Amino acid sequence: MWIIKHRTIFYTFSIVLVIASVFSFFKWGLNFGIDFTGGTLIEVGYDERPDQGVLQEQLVALDNSATVRPSGTSGYLIKMKPVDQAEKAKVMDILKINENASTTINAELKTFDSIGPVLGKEALRKSAVSIVLVILGIVLFITFAFRKVSEPVSSWKYGLVAIVALVHDVIIPAGAFSVLGHFYGYEVDTLFVTAILVILGFSVHDTIVVFDRVRENLRTQGKRTSFENIVGDSINQTVVRSINTSLTTLIALVVLYFIGGKATEHFSLALIIGIAAGTYSSIFVGSALLVTIEKWGKKNL
Amino acid sequence: MLFVVAIIIGYFVYVSSLPNSKRPFILGLDLSGGSLLVFNADVSKLDPADVKASMTALRDDVEKRINVFGVSEPLVYTEEGKSLSSKEGAYKLIVELPGVTDPDKAALAIGATPKLEFKVISDEDMKENSLMMENLNSTSSEQQNFLALFKETGLNGTMVGRASLIFDPTTNAPAVGLSFNQDGRKLFSSITKAHKGDYLGIFLDDRLIQAPVVREEIPNGQAVISGGFTVEEAQTLVRNLNFGALPVPIKLISTQTIGPSLGNEAVKGGINAGIVSFMIISVFLLIWYRLPGLVAVIALGFYAVIMLAIFLLAKVTLTAAGIAGFIITIGMAVDANILIFERMKEELVNGRSVSDAMHEGFARAWLSIRDSNISSIITGTILYYFGSTSVVTGFALVFVIGVFVSMFTAITASRLFLYAIAPSRTTRLSTFLISNGFTRMK
């Protein structure tokens, strides 16, 4: 069917996105938040915001990596190295968060996070391992679930196709956040890693559904039509279901993005990008790859 | 069968109406506002066999100190050697203080391990350097040399059995009365016996505060430190000495404070997002799937109610990410239903009767449901186990529970309602109602 026929187009689209993402990694890297680098993040709200330059100057005197960014219309976001209690008192003074402050300034401490570097590195390591483990777990599961399907594509190749789809689904949101990180300061924190893991678990859903169908159709029609047709039919039969499932989840996520509050804003964005990418890869790339692999197998005979 | 279902429904509705009265949802720090302190526990000097017991003692100790501050429902717990923690970071002490937005005093009180030491200086050395005693706070090099003349005795604060606040009878100045424990008493006795005429320096946190002369042997283990304290200083020292040194030295490595306003915003946003997404998804389901769509909406309602009931009964702590997870699982809960309905439509297209199509739909779809949810469960479990912050584990817990409950509601509630409303005759209308989408029917 047409998805399989034009699979080259879809491969190309995916490859372009992946290359763009990888390019972005090399050029701009990922903007890691203090969850991973350690440091201090302070968000303050004011009735009447003091001058940004003055604050920056005073903070830089304590730590020359300190930065002050406006947050919304009446607040500031301050980033600096981890502070101990003595330094924290000085910072609070500078930001006018203490009892002696005048009432017009009226500073309100919204959040204060100070994370030591040891904790940060640990979080980074745990995140990397989690991602690897989840990918491994899922691939093993697929290989196991499809172990009895050896013709014309051996079962471990199903697992392989799943890996390709998963890696694709992880690189694209990461690439998006690399770009967003560079231009808008979006940060990669532990919630982002959580989003990636959810994307991994979710994207495999649709892939499994199609593979399931392929397996079933192989059983009933294996001898009658070509593998390519079987896969095409399978996609046909499952595409509505795939789109609808992703659609309902995306609805929930879009709503969350717009009215769910700031804490989960970037989280839902990462999920939206990832699940969209995941649905695309399952429908347009994953199954098509099965056909490609089968054709390569034939060529080598 | 339907009666049982009705009873279950009634119970769940009742349970979920409780939130407003006696048992509110347990909100994580990021929703209620408060502080989270993470300490690194240095177990390097402990015998490996003692580590577990020491960490428990540490937890209890710190909890006692926190309770002095009157924080409502503080949480103190230790995190021990989870896999992949760095060597230094393996053992941690975590303190959650809901509602406390200025955790500095608490952090200080928790970490305070007063270092009290008694050192001896000989008579001659003291006389030579008597000027040094004039300015005990000096940090000059002569002062350092002077201090180095004091010899360690091995007597320190850990041997103090009890400290108490006393007032000098003549001057009314506050002082700290020490009562050494058995080991301390013996040591104190032998020191005072051996060094009659010499001076005993009392060092607090490496600062010399007093150096009285040893007049005679003191066998009863009683001593008084009167280093010019204010009442508050004396009280603090008494309290810290009585709590004793912490069983394991700790160092503050992370502080997180969330102001309450941000928390309220997150709660409201979460609730709104939940309600709105439920509504939009319901509309979509009704339009696309019609009658089964109605069943799906009801099943979704069940799902939400059961989840809320679980949050309450199992005392699950809700965080902002947890609420997000709940909302995501609402979207995903529909998944199993959609699988079944699509299958049903296929069976209808293949010419089966409506009620047969329903039964076949369920039977065939179960494998797909199971397989696709397993991957989510794998993800959720790994997230929960490796999550380094309560934000992540809060999400993972809600996520995994959601996946299981959604499978349950799809298989039981959906099936129940579908069978209940299954039209017995296959007509164009019933086929339309049960089918979905906009394809042409045979």
Query: With an 8 Å Cβ cutoff, are B388 and A255 in contact?
Result: no
**DSSP string of B378-440?**
HHHHHHHHH--SHHHHHHHHHHHHHHHHHHHHIIIIIHHHHHHH--SS--HHHHHHH--TTPP
Give the pLDDT of residue B13: 62
Q: Which chain A residues are Cβ-neighbours of B273 within 8 angstroms?
A: 252, 255-256, 259-261
**Burial zone of B148 (CB within 10 Å; 0-12 exposed, 13-18 middle, 19+ buried):** exposed
- B280: nearest CA in chain A? A251
- Interface-testing mutation among A169, A244, A265, with chain B (most B C-beta atoms within 10 A): A244
| More confident of the two residues A108 and B5 | A108
Which helix (DSSP H) or strand (DSSP E) does residue B369 occupy?
helix B354-386
Give the pLDDT of residue B87: 56
Work out whether the CA dihedral B162, B167, B168, B174 comes out positive or negative: positive
Which helix (DSSP H) or strand (DSSP E) does residue B352 occupy?
none
| Maximal C-alpha separation, chain A | 85
* Number of CB atoms found within 10 A of residue B187's CB: 19
pLDDT confidence of A273, banded at 50, 70, 90? very high
Q: Which chain A residues are Cβ-neighbours of B323 within 8 angstroms?
A: 260, 264
pLDDT confidence of A70, banded at 50, 70, 90? confident
Give the pLDDT of residue B439: 45
pLDDT in tens, A126-166: 888 888 888 888 888 877 777 766 666 677 777 788 888 88
Please tell me the distance from the alpha carbon of residue B278 to that of residue A248, in angstroms, as a whole number: 10
Sorted by sequence, the CB contacts under 8 Å of residue B214 that are 6+ apart come out as: B191, B192, B195, B196, B197, B198, B199, B200
Give the pLDDT of residue A121: 81
- Smallest Cβ–Cβ distance between B259 and the set A110, A261, A262 belongs to A110
Q: What are phi and psi of A277, to 5 degrees?
A: -60, -40
pLDDT in tens, B161-199: 788 888 888 888 888 888 888 888 888 888 888 888 888
**What is the ipTM score, two decimals?**
0.80
Tell me what percent of the residues of chain B surpass a pLDDT of 90. Answer: 0
* Average of per-residue pLDDT across B302-306: 82
Helices (runs of H) and strands (runs of E) counted in chain B = 14, 13
- Interface-testing mutation among A92, A140, A241, A246, with chain B (most B C-beta atoms within 10 A): A241
Q: Where are the beta strands (DSSP E) in B307-380?
A: 317-318
Q: What are phi and psi of B336, to 5 degrees?
A: -60, -40
pLDDT confidence of B4, banded at 50, 70, 90? low
User: Percentages helix, strand, coil for chain A, rounded to the nearest 5?
Assistant: 70, 10, 20
Q: Distance (Å) from the C-alpha of residue B364 to the closest C-alpha of chain A?
A: 11
Mean of pLDDT over chain A: 81
Tell me what percent of the residues of chain B surpass a pLDDT of 70. Answer: 80
* Average of per-residue pLDDT across A273-297: 84
User: Is pLDDT of A29 > 70?
Assistant: yes
Give the pLDDT of residue A82: 80
Give the pLDDT of residue A101: 53
Cis peptide before A173 (omega within 30 of 0): no
Give the pLDDT of residue A301: 54
Q: Which chain A residues are Cβ-neighbours of B262 within 8 angstroms?
A: 43, 110-111, 262-263
User: Is pLDDT of B231 > 80?
Assistant: yes
Please tell me the distance from the alpha carbon of residue A174 to that of residue A188, in angstroms, as a whole number: 9
User: Is pLDDT of B66 > 50?
Assistant: yes
The token pair at B103 is 């955790």
* Average of per-residue pLDDT across A249-268: 84
Please tell me the distance from the alpha carbon of residue B279 to that of residue B331, in angstroms, as a whole number: 11
Sorted by sequence, the CB contacts under 8 Å of residue A3 that are 6+ apart come out as: A10, A232, A235, A283, A284, A287, A288
Give the pLDDT of residue A105: 63
Residues A214-247 as b or e (16 or more Cβ within 10 Å = b): bbbbbeeeeeeeebbebbbbbbebbbbbbebbbb
* Average of per-residue pLDDT across A26-51: 82
SS3 B28: coil
Least confident piece of the model among B164-178, B258-272, B297-311: B258-272
Among A84-88, A255-259, B363-367, top mean pLDDT goes to A255-259
pLDDT in tens, B359-383: 777 777 777 777 778 878 888 888 8
Query: With an 8 Å Cβ cutoff, are B375 and A116 in contact?
Result: no
Q: Which chain A residues are Cβ-neighbours of B84 within 8 angstroms?
A: 122, 125-126, 129
- B395: nearest CA in chain A? A194
Give the pLDDT of residue B156: 76
Q: What are phi and psi of B114, to 5 degrees?
A: -70, 135
SS3 A42: strand
**Pair type for strands B317-318 and B26-27:** parallel
| More confident of the two residues A199 and B290 | A199
pLDDT confidence of B438, banded at 50, 70, 90? very low
Task: Confirm if B210 and B201 have CB atoms less than 8 A apart.
Answer: yes
The token pair at A156 is 């471990």
Mean of pLDDT over chain B: 76
pLDDT confidence of B442, banded at 50, 70, 90? very low
Cα–Cα distances in angstroms (integers) from residue B89 to residues A35, B42, B113, B127, in the given order: 15, 9, 20, 48
Give the pLDDT of residue B428: 58
pLDDT confidence of A272, banded at 50, 70, 90? very high
Task: Confirm if B375 and A208 have CB atoms less than 8 A apart.
Answer: yes
Strand order in the sheet with A108-115: A67-71, A75-80, A39-45, A108-115, B250-258, B34-41, B91-98, B75-80
A148 touches chain B (CB under 8 A): no
- Find, among B375, B58, B322, B130, the residue nearest to A165 by Cα: B375
| Maximal C-alpha separation, chain B | 115
The token pair at B330 is 């609402």
Among A236-250, B48-62, B345-359, top mean pLDDT goes to A236-250
